[in-house]
Amino acid sequence: QVQLVQSGAEVKKPGASVKVSCKASGYTFTNYYMHWVRQAPGQGLEWMGIINLTDDIKSYAQRFQGRVIMTRDTSTSTVYMELSSLRSEDTAMYYCARDGPNNFDYWGQGTLVTVSS
């Protein structure tokens, strides 16, 4: 069965970077794109970007341009999202989600990133 398993919670200081991983299993990794979505405490869903797992082409939401980098490792079926220059407003749950035949069809369990001095 399809599974997306994300790395554990992180606590970072303002100005630092964080790298979250998302390991996929149960399907052919390169057949589908992967999204990253975040959700601040008590807030709605916010799309961060998408990565093509075949050719490594990415599209990032405008508000994250220059601060986010999405990468993938096809040998381990793992996708990474790195966010730099962290500020308190980046405290959120970060999700990976597969762009399947019906759009966001499978989601990771989420990774809580806390930014605090």
Partner 1 sequence: SYKLTQSPSVSVSPGQTARITCSGDALPRRSAYWFQQKPGQAPVLVIYKDSERPSGIPERFSGSSSGTTVTLTISGVQAEDEADYYCQSTDNSGIYVVFGGGTRVTVL
From the CB of 16, what's the least distance to partner 1, in Å? 25
**Which CB, 8 or 117, lies closer to partner 1?**
8
Residue 71 contacts residue 51 (beta carbons within 8 Å): yes
Three-state secondary-structure class, residue 89? helix
Residue 115: beta bridge partners?
A: 12
Nearest approach in angstroms of CB 73 to partner 1 is 23
Give yes or no for a contact between 98 and 4, defined as CB atoms under 8 angstroms apart. yes
* Contact predicate 49/38, CB 8 Å: no
Binding flag, residue 35, partner 1 (CB under 8 A) = yes
Residue 67 structure tokens: 């601060």
Say which DSSP state 27 is in.
Answer: S
Of 84, 114, 104, the closest CA to residue 36 belongs to 104
Among residues 50, 51, 83, 113, the one that binds partner 1 under rule CB under 8 A: 50
Does residue 62 interact with partner 1 by CB under 8 A? yes
Does position 83 interact with partner 1 (CB under 8 A)? The reply is: no
- Residue range at the interface with partner 1 (CB under 8 A); choices 8-16, 20-28, 41-49, 80-88: 41-49
User: Which residues 92-111 are close enough to bind partner 1 by CB under 8 A?
Assistant: 95, 97, 102-105, 107-110
Residues of this chain that interact with partner 1 (CB under 8 A) are 35, 37, 44-47, 50, 59, 61-62, 95, 97, 102-105, 107-110
